[in-house]
Amino acid sequence: MKVLKIHSHPNGYRGFSALDDASDRELFAAVSLKVPGPHISAVMLPDGEILARLVMDDGTFRAVDRVAVVGDDLVFWPDPLAAANDFDQRHRQVFGDRTTNLLRALTVAVVGISGTGSPTVEMLARLGVGRILLIDPDVVEGRNLNRIWGSTRSDAEVGANKALMMRGHLDRMGLGTDVVDFQGRVDTVEAIQLISIADVLIGCVDSLEGRDTLNRVATFYTLPYLDIGVRLDADGQGGVASVSAAVHYLQPGGASLKSRGVYSDEGLRAEYLKRTDQPFYEDQVRRGYIRGVRVDSPAVISVNTLAAASAVNELLARLHPFRTVNNADVAVQKLLLTHGRTIHRGDGDPDLELAPLVGRGDCTPPIGCGRIETAAA
């Protein structure tokens, strides 16, 4: 936990003055006696732009590369510079140099590189995102080939890890994206540390544990979190009851997937028991204490890709607001394909359990969650 001092420059002076230097050294010399540094000093300009720097224990200063404000819109300072590429010329015609350059400067973590994750990653790379973190412990199987972009029959035959497979696919594209793969579960210390360096988090997972972990990581490390979900209800014989998808945008201190009713504590507990203590889980289901967890669900590449595209467009709308409605009104999008319509709604009430933990950062246990400590051990 560090101390942040922020003050305004009403005259618009874009920098730290000699008076700021003296004030910061005096204040943080005293602060560091109780809480060792580095700490942060920031200046807000009349237009809302924020400049920041680290104040070291010896009174020296170090620049902060980027300041991010995560709200209904996503704002980053300072404006990044990037050379134009042949493949991003059409993007620049739509979004201009600033947003296109910002995409090149961003690090996006994508958790789950399968039905919705693989098209998400494909689109991010072709939009010119500078660095993509790929996280998935599973391997490619024959049954996955109908929906994982970039996968091949040979990947399934050798059981290639999905994150590693996608890294190779993006490297072959040759668009300059820096790719990091993590071939493990998201609820581990190593995965959480990797995600914490991202600017944006996108969840493409089916499990409740995964969603709960990602919501907590986004809260503790003040990240914008986009969650993608798809639901297909079919009888297995060609009868289709429902086809729908949902994209949730979550910001630290606001609503969570749990407070929005996407999952419950009871469902989370059942899934955890099924993974860690199968006999006890089955006994609890038999006794009626918990409801069974659905394991496999049908999947169709066109529906998954539609959901992924909606999430990527949602990210673009937050970076470069282009909608005729306020972003605050579109925190949840539901694509009801069987009904032929799309509905959206606002953020909803804050999750009062997570709200006090915004920006807490590193702690023990990680993200305040005991099962992470168990998984890491």
Last residue in a domain, options 16, 38, 64: 64
Instruction: Please report whether residue 335 resides in a domain.
Output: yes
Q: Are 85 and 175 in contact (CB under 8 A)?
A: yes
Cα–Cα distance for residue pair 158/140, rounded to 1 Å: 8
**Cis? peptide before 365, omega within 30° of 0:** yes
Give the tens place of pLDDT for each residue, 307-363. Answer: 999 999 999 999 999 999 999 999 999 999 999 999 999 999 999 999 999 999 999
Residues 19 and 161 grouped into a single domain: no
Position 310 scores a pLDDT of 97
Residues 48 and 176 grouped into a single domain: no
Instruction: Please report whether residue 74 resides in a domain.
Output: no
Question: pLDDT grade, residue 169 (50/70/90)?
Answer: very high
Residues 100 and 56 grouped into a single domain: no
Neighbours of 21 (CB within 10 A): 15
Residues 34 and 115 grouped into a single domain: no
Residues 93 and 51 grouped into a single domain: no
How many structural domains does the chain have?
2
Q: Are 215 and 121 in contact (CB under 8 A)?
A: no
Cα–Cα distance for residue pair 31/23, rounded to 1 Å: 12
> DSSP 3-state assignment of 141?
coil
Instruction: Please report whether residue 125 resides in a domain.
Output: yes
Tokens of 294: 């659905």
pTM of the model: 0.93
| DSSP states along 22-73 | HHHHHHHHHHHHHS-S-EEEEEE-TTS-EEEEEE-TTS-EEE-S-EEEESSS
CB burial class (10 A; 0-12, 13-18, 19+) of residue 219?
Answer: buried
pLDDT at 170 over 60: yes
pLDDT at 294 over 90: no
Instruction: Please report whether residue 186 resides in a domain.
Output: yes
In this structure, is the dihedral angle defined by the CA atoms of residues 294, 295, 299 and 304, taken in order, positive or negative?
Answer: positive
Question: pLDDT grade, residue 24 (50/70/90)?
Answer: very high
Tokens of 323: 């909608």
Instruction: Please report whether residue 225 resides in a domain.
Output: yes
Residues 263 and 151 grouped into a single domain: yes
How many alpha carbons lie under 13 Å from residue 161 in its C-beta half-sphere?
13
Cα–Cα distance for residue pair 57/40, rounded to 1 Å: 11
Neighbours of 81 (CB within 10 A): 10
Cα–Cα distance for residue pair 131/199, rounded to 1 Å: 10
Q: Which of 81, 124, 131, 71 is nearest to 102 (CA)?
A: 81
Position 238 scores a pLDDT of 84
Instruction: Please report whether residue 70 resides in a domain.
Output: no
Helix (H) or strand (E) holding 248: strand 240-250
pLDDT at 278 over 90: no
Residues 152 and 45 grouped into a single domain: no
Give the tens place of pLDDT for each residue, 104-153. Answer: 999 999 999 999 999 999 999 999 999 999 999 999 999 999 999 999 99
> What are the C-alpha distances in Å from 66 to residues 53, 180, 216?
10, 21, 23
Give the tens place of pLDDT for each residue, 32-49. Answer: 999 998 999 999 999 999
Position 275 scores a pLDDT of 87
Position 9 scores a pLDDT of 96
Instruction: Please report whether residue 121 resides in a domain.
Output: yes
Question: pLDDT grade, residue 374 (50/70/90)?
Answer: very low
Residues 17 and 109 grouped into a single domain: no
Last residue in a domain, options 64, 89, 114: 64
Residues 300 and 180 grouped into a single domain: yes
Residues 120 and 154 grouped into a single domain: yes
Position 377 scores a pLDDT of 40
Residues 12 and 106 grouped into a single domain: no
Helix (H) or strand (E) holding 284: helix 278-287
Mean pLDDT for all residues in the chain: 92
Instruction: Work out the angle between the directed axes of helices 117-127 and 162-173 (0-180°, nearest 10).
Output: 30
Residues 43 and 167 grouped into a single domain: no
Give the tens place of pLDDT for each residue, 58-71. Answer: 999 999 989 999 99
> DSSP 3-state assignment of 19?
helix
Position 142 scores a pLDDT of 94
Instruction: Please report whether residue 206 resides in a domain.
Output: yes
Last residue in a domain, options 64, 90, 116: 64
Residue 322: give the domain boundaries. 79-376
pLDDT at 376 over 70: no
pLDDT at 292 over 70: no
Structure-token match 């079919």, residue found: 234
CATH classification at residue 84 = 3.40.50.720
Q: Are 91 and 127 in contact (CB under 8 A)?
A: yes
